[in-house]
Each structure stands twice: as structure tokens, then as C-alpha cells.
Chains A and B, each alone.
Chain A
Amino acid sequence: MGMRKAWLLLLALVFVVGLAACGNNNEPVDAGENNDEVNAGNNDVEGANNNAEEANNDEANNDGNNTNNEANNETMAEDQTLIFARGGDSVSLDYASVTDGESSRVTQQIYESLLQFDEDSFEIGPGLAEDWDVEDDGLRFVFHLREGVTFHDGTDFNADAVKLNFERWANPDHEYHFADEGYAYSVYGTQFGGFEGDDGHVIEEINVLGDYEIEFVLRERLGSFLQNMGMSYFAITSPAAFEEYGSSINENPVGTGPFKFISWSKDDSIVLEKNEDYWQEGLPKLDSVIFQVIPDNSARLTALRSGEIDIMDGLNPDDVEAIEGEPGITMFERATNNIGYLGFNADKEPFDDPVLRRALNHAIDKESLIAVLYAGLAEPAKNIIPPLYLGYNDNIEPYEYDPELAQELLEEAGYGDGLEFDLWTMPVARPYMPDPQRAAEVMQANFADIGVTANIVSMEWATYLERTEQGEQDLFMLGWSGTNGDPDYFFGNLLHSDAIPGGNRNFYRNDEVDALLDQAKTSIDEEERAELYEQAQEIIHEDAPMIPLVHSIPVLAGNERVKNYVPHLSTSEPLTHVELAE
């Protein structure tokens, strides 16, 4: 074979790369490798209480009791090694510098935050901090840290460690910020209003009051401050590990959590081992946990059926029905924590007209969308926040599916003779939108029923995000998932006019709503916040800046010998209480 042939083949190879690039990301729902899901992550609380002491005391107690109810009278297997299979690998084990769900799934086992969310809700309870006080009307928080906790490297956990971690994120010049190595802490910036020196940065100072007492002084009130402290993005790394590993801390995690890091073989598996010195007596139950990458959804299910793995994430919606009732296999549902929506670009005619937007709201048959695309595992949405969130307004009357009414409103808006627009369709599957192409076709048919022509338009994912941010779209499909369980994360990013350009791709601007959201964001009174958000939802509902479609319910499947596994509302949870039966 001559050089010529070799050349041609090489060229062919290059074009394959090009093609692959155009088509990439078309993976089944959560072949999680796409980090694009900021949210995906962590600990999210959904909602409710962001506040202080009184609330959490009772709650923490309650949940403490019901953590471990099952499985006491079953024989446990000798080999307590759990294999958790997922679609993609973790990007990095330095939790604060990445946003993908597959990273936090692992770091939650190794690291802990000052506060911890309940296993099945968004209520905060004690974590590395045993207790905390809110002072100066929400401008000062004092955390009383747990004593006698050690990091996996044997060094002590204390207030200095906490301070160092927070300073590391906030201060770009900090020796462990690793800016030159490409580290960025975007979630810190989002949750705390920026970094040291930025106008919006809310953390003014952090003071070590004693070995086990630390104080955060805020510049202004932040309703979600305590919720943030429960996020896995703000867990605590051993200061000695920074010293030892420097910027390769992302491959050498050292925390205080129930499991210790052993090894990582990229795109294959991450092995963790029980932390024998864990501060919670008798926990964790498992001896080791292995996170195994199996990119293909069907192959992963095969591995589960053949008993090679114990839990899998990322089930094809079509497979859900097939495995329901299958002997030996259990399903785990996560409570919903997201919204999939069809947005209008209010900057473009005729979508600046609320009457038209309401008309189109009535045109979509959400129930059949759920039946066809989600295998029933979703709830129809009427607000943008998930139902369990603080301030969810259940009194809102949803825009019912009613083609006739839709047509009437369409006439009222002056489009009785028809309307044509582009329907921008996401090129990738997301938990809130498992099959965007088919969803677009269903909605296209719905629109056709009222005499409206929707042309399906699709493009590459990064381009899609860029162009929708710039407002080139008519109607577009997108979604959002919660991270800290705070409603502001949805409202502030999706509908506040400050988020233009940015998350507010609806180009929705309403001063009244902005004012309500601002007030709710800085309030630390839970009831007041709830009320403000409820009011905002009423106005938003009237304005109809989007068609809220669904809140989807992610499911996992597992071997029935997996006990005490409770999926958290977010995409991951510590496996502290999980054990394997015979």
C-alpha cells in the first residue's frame, strides 16, 4: 500500500472527527458524561427551609430516626462491595471546580460539608457543623464544628480548615486557587455573588473564633446562605492534602467522608474504601464502593441483569416498563427537582404579546407528552419551580389543554388565520427532556391542531445555548435543574431581567416580578419568602413567558439485594447507610 492510500485514510479519519463533533452529545438521557448539567449535581435540596435553627432542630431529629429502617432482619452479604454503574466518568474529584453530576456523585462519598441535607428532602441538618447560630438578623452566622473528626490523611478537621477552603475559592490569588492550572469555581461565584473584590460578593469576612468555632460575616443578607452550606460544592478538603498534592488535588481527594479514595482508572472505574475512622459510629455499612462507567444504556441494563453491577443510573424511558416487576430488580425514584419548558422569545414579535403566549399554552397536551416520552415518570408543570420547593404556588390554575380555547385566544391576538414560527429543539437528551426530537414532533402536532405551523429547528448543543442566549430563537426547548433547593436558583436565573443575557432566554422583563424576586432573595424569613414567590408566580402565570411542560422523575434500577438506598432529589447522595443483603 502506498503513501497515497495512507493519506486518504488519514483524511478520512479527520473527517470522521468532524462528523462526530457535529453529532456528538446525542446520547441517551444521561450518559452523564456531559457535564453540561450544572445542576445536576449535588445535594440539592429542594426547597424549603432555608433557615435557621428552630426549623432544623426538630427536623434533624426526625430524620435522624428514620434513616435506617429496613433490612435489620435480613442476612447481609459477606462481600460488602457495591458497584454503582453510570454513563460517564467524573471530570474531577475537586468538587468545587466542576459542575457535573458524575463528579459530585463520587465526591459526596469522600467529602462532607458543614451542613447536610436530609436523605430524602432538602431540609438542612448538622454535618461537619454540629450546630449554628444566626445573628445580626442574618448577617452573621456562627458554626460550631464537630470535634474529633479527622481527615482521611489523619490530620484534624477544624475551623482553620474551613476558613482555608472558603478562602481558596473566593480569592483568585490564594495559593491553592490554582487559576493558572485552569481551575475555576463557577458555583461559588453563582451562589455567593462573585469572588473577593466583586461588588456582589456576599461573604465579607470569615473569622476563626476557636478551634471548633467559625464565623461568617455577610455584606448583605442571603436567603439561601444555609442551603448553600449544605451543597456538596462547598465541602471541606484537608489542608495537608493541598500542601501535598497541589493542583493534582483533583485526582487525590482527601476529605472526612464515609469512604476513602483508593484509585481512579479514567473512563473506567473509581474505587473507594470504607473510612474506618468515620465519625458516625458503625457507619458506613459498605466495605467498598466502585463507580463503574458503562456508557451504553442498554449494556448497563444487561450488566445489571447479569448481576455484574448493583445499581445503575440512566435507564432508557422505554426500558422502565420492561423491568417493572422483573424479579431480582428494584427501581428507585428520585423526587423531581427540575423543569422542562418551552420558552418564548419575548423580544421578538409576535411573542411579545401575552395573549398569544397564553393561546399557545393552551395548545400543548402535557399528559400525552408525559405518556409518550417519559413512560409516565413526570408531572405536568404549571410553575417553574418543582412542587416541593419553598413558595410553590399550588393555587395557580394551569393552562388546560384546550385547542378550541387556544384557537379563540389566537384569534383575539390577531392570528386567527394561522401563524408560523421556528421551534428550536435541543440536540441532546436531558433528564428533564429524554427525547427532545420526539417531544418537538408531539408539540408540532399539537400546534398544527390549532392551525399553527411550527418548524422544527435543531443545531449543535453549544451553539444552541449560545444562540438562544443571544435571542435568535422564536420558541425554544430547555430546562433547568435545582442545586441547592432554593427557589431563587430557578426564578433568579430564568426569569429575572438581570439574567439577560444569560439564563433568561425568554427575555422576560417585568419590574414587578424583579422587585418581588429581589426582596425574596435577601429575606431570611421563610414565610415571607414563600409569600413573595407565590405572588411572583401569579404575575408570571398571567404573563406566560414560557410553557412549563414537565417536572420529570429520574429513576434508577438496582439489584434487590441493595438495602437502604434512598436517592436524593438531586442527582446523587452519600451511600453511608447502604448495605447488601445475601
Chain B
Amino acid sequence: MISYTIRRILMLIPVLIGMSLITFSIIHLIPGNPAQTILGEQATPQAIEQLEEQLGLNEPYFVQYGNYMMGLAQGDLGTSLRTKGEISSEIWPFLAATIELTIFAMVFAIIVGVNAGIISAWKQNSIFDYASMLIALVGVSMPIFWLGLMEQWIFAQELGWLPAFGRGNPRDPVETVTHFYLVDSMINGRPDQIWTSFKHLILPGVALGTIPMAIIARMTRSSMLEVLRSDYIRTIEAKGARDLSVVYRHGFKNAVIPVLTVVGLQTGTLLGGAILTETIFSWPGVGRYVYEAIGNRDYPVIQSGIIVIATMFVFINLIVDLLYSYIDPRIKY
């Protein structure tokens, strides 16, 4: 197990080199240069040329890549062309925002999705089954920005129950320590801010968690159906017990592996792909950080952002794989 873990972590190195090379090539193949985008349509050609030189953009492509990788090898993620800030320190608040939102969304998706899936399988072909699978179908196909805007319209504008944007009350900002607002408000001993931060998580969390929820529900249902048809369940049934606790205890435990796979994949996807939700709910997360960098051709930010996201993705997959053997001891590495 330990050697497997080490091997997997070592595998990260070629993955990251490959990632950075591909990302680097793609963003340099995209037409348009950072100096032009930074200075805009009203800049003089001289000013653009001067800035290019200052930013080292007139160096050959492979020299730029080499410089970047040299820095990366020393743990230096580089400096943003646009804000001139150190990316390693700049990226953390964004990453924390994304992780906090992702965790909330996934908790929501797992709780709702798993339970809906189990009950649907248990009561196959019941009204509940049809209803929840219909909701799941709608959930998978619903455009996330539409869902987000609807949520805002109903819960923020019409009902006024929940805030429409941001992570906290701008009039009473959370004093940041870890940049996880729930944690920070606990550290600061501010129960009111815990509540505020929680309220801010609800709408974006639900919007972001809807698709994973639907996928998890469907996966749980089909995996459960298979398990419920198996012999040992029939044996338990023959002993006269088929209440919900049996379904959960004996059934779900055996149906959990495929669900876990989906959870792992979805978590990884949310970490990097929450741009729409982050935009609609003004959530200052890493998706938006990278997206804006793309618009501005802020090469180092794009590269480092992608590398950080990719690393997290690989780690989540590793954790999921390790969980397999923990849950099902038959799986060995």
C-alpha cells in the first residue's frame, strides 16, 4: 500500500511535465500577446513593444518554457504578468474559496444523491423512483447558469432569504486566517459570521452540486439494483427482513465502489470547472482566477493555475483509489 502510494505520487512528475508542456504550447499557440491585452486597443505600438521586452515575451518560446520550469522545480510558481504578484501566495485565497465551495457542493450532492438513489432502487418503479429519476435527468441536463440565475431570482431577489453574491457580508468582512470562511469565523469566535458564511454557500453550493447529485443518484440506483438482485440479499430477504436498514447496511456497502468512483471524478471536475457558478455567484475561486488569466494572456498564472488544479485532481484520484481497498478489503494494491 505504501509503495503503491509512493509510486502514484512519483507518477505525478511525468503527468505534470506533460501537462505543463501541453498547456504552455496551447496558450502560446493562441494568437494575441499579453502586452497587447494588458495595454488594450488604445496603446501605441511602442508601448506594446516596450512592455513585451520588459516581460521577457520576446524571448524564444523554449527559453520561456525553460525559465518557467526551472522556477517550478524550485517550487516557484512564478509572477503574474498582470498584477505583478507572486502566484504562490496569490492563488491560495482563490483555491480555498473553491475547495470550500466544492466540499459544500459535494456534501450536498452525496447526501441527496445517495439517499435518493438508494430509495429509488429499494422502491423500484414506484412513484418516488420515477420522480427522483426524473429530477436526476433534469438535474444532469440543466444549464448551470440558468439554475444559478433562477436561484438568485427566487431566493435573493423575490424572497430575500439568501444572499446573491460573494462569500460573506462585505460590510462585515471575515478576518482571514486560512481563507476557509467557515473555519476562519470559527477561529475568530464569530458564530454570526459562521451563519453568514454558511448562507453564502447555499445557493452556489446547490447550483454546483446539482449535476453531481443527479449523476450520483443514478449511479447509486443502478449499482444498488444490481446488489439487491444478488443472492445474499435474497437470503436475507428469505429470513424475512427487508427493511430499509438492511438495504443501507448490507446493500449499499456493496454498491458503494462505483458511486465512490463517480464522487471522485466529480470532485475533481468541480475543483477546476466551477467557472460558471463562480461567475454567477461572484465566488472568487480558482476557476475564475485562471479564466481571467486566459483572457489577459497571463501565461504564468494560466500554467501554474492548471498545474495546481491538475495536482489536486491527481491527489483526489489517489485518495479514491486508496479508499477502495479500505472499503472493500478484497481490493489490494
Contact = CB atoms under 8 A, between A and B. Distances in A.
Given A17-B23, A17-B306, A296-B279, A38 B40 contact: yes
B249 to A, nearest CB: 26
Interface stretch (B66-74, B128-136, B150-158, B239-247): B150-158
Name the residue in B94, B149, B166, B290 with the highest tally of chain A Cβ atoms < 10 Å from its Cβ. B166
A75 B275 CA distance: 42
Interface stretch (B77-85, B112-120, B190-198): B77-85
Interface string B282-324: 1010001111101111000010001001100110010011000
B15 interface: yes
List the 3 closest A-B pairs by CB distance, nearest first.
A462-B32, A36-B40, A38-B42
B302 A33 contact: no
A33 B282 contact: no
Given A21-B294, A265-B173, A10 B40 contact: no
Nearest to A305: B157
Interface residues of A, number: 83
B40 A33 contact: no
A306 B171 CA distance: 15
B184 interface: no
A175 interface: no
24 contacts: A1-B321, A7-B15, A9-B269, A33-B292, A35-B40, A37-B40, A38-B42, A182-B51, A186-B39, A186-B43, A190-B44, A265-B176, A269-B166, A269-B170, A292-B170, A296-B280, A298-B149, A299-B149, A299-B282, A306-B157, A460-B30, A461-B32, A466-B36, A503-B42
B45 A189 contact: no
Contacts of A39: 42
Interface string A247-277: 1001100000000000101111101000000
A34 B46 CA distance: 21
B170 A184 contact: no
A99 B39 contact: yes
B44 A13 contact: no
A266 B171 contact: no
A579 B148 CA distance: 33
Nearest to B35: A184
Nearest to A247: B84
Given A182-B54, A184-B47, A265 B294 contact: no
A142 B275 CA distance: 52
A292 B94 contact: no
A81 B281 CA distance: 22
Interface in A290-318: 290, 292-296, 298-300, 302-303, 305-308
Contact of A9 (B50, B163, B265): B265
B309 to A, nearest CB: 7
A221 B264 CA distance: 68
Contacts of A251: 85
Nearest to A83: B170
A150 interface: no
A466 B32 contact: yes
A261 to B, nearest CB: 14
Contacts of B164: 299, 302-303, 306, 308
Contacts of A461: 32, 37
B37 A271 contact: no
Interface of B: 11, 15, 19, 22-23, 26-27, 30-33, 36-47, 50-51, 54-55, 79, 81-85, 90, 93-94, 148-149, 152-153, 156-157, 160, 163-167, 170-171, 173, 176, 261, 264-265, 268-269, 272-273, 275, 279-282, 284, 288-292, 294-297, 302, 306, 309-310, 313-314, 317, 320-321
Contacts of B272: 13
If over half of B's interface residues share one DSSP class (helix, strand or loop), that class is named, otherwise mixed; here it is helix
B303 to A, nearest CB: 10
B44 A502 contact: yes
B223 to A, nearest CB: 15
A182 B166 contact: no
A18 interface: yes
A459 B31 CA distance: 10
Contacts of A308: 156, 163-165
A462 B288 contact: no
B15 A292 contact: no
Nearest to A499: B44
B165 A91 contact: no
B36 A189 contact: no
A17 B85 contact: no
Given A20-B291, A189-B44, 15 more contacts: A20-B275, A39-B42, A99-B39, A184-B50, A189-B47, A250-B84, A251-B85, A269-B166, A292-B165, A292-B170, A293-B282, A298-B152, A302-B153, A480-B42, A481-B42
Contacts of B38: 35
A537 to B, nearest CB: 21
Interface string A426-455: 000000000000000000000000000000
B265 A14 contact: no
A568 B245 CA distance: 68
B88 to A, nearest CB: 14
A268 B166 contact: yes
Nearest to A290: B170
A72 B106 CA distance: 52
A6 B313 contact: yes
Given A36-B41, A79-B171, A92-B83, A13 B310 contact: yes
Contacts of A460: 30-32
B155 to A, nearest CB: 9
A99 B265 contact: no
B84 A181 contact: yes
Contact of A20 (B19, B289, B294, B321): B294
A16 interface: yes
B39 A38 contact: yes
A183 to B, nearest CB: 7
A85 B163 CA distance: 14
A469 interface: yes
A24 interface: yes
B165 A303 contact: yes
A101 B152 CA distance: 28
A396 interface: no
B284 A265 contact: yes
A179 interface: yes
A34 B295 contact: yes
A299 B152 contact: yes
B173 to A, nearest CB: 7
A1 B41 contact: no
Name the residue in A79, A85, A184, A271 with the highest tally of chain B Cβ atoms < 10 Å from its Cβ. A184
Interface in A1-28: 1, 3, 5-7, 9-11, 13-14, 16-18, 20-22, 24-25
A558 B304 CA distance: 39
A519 interface: no
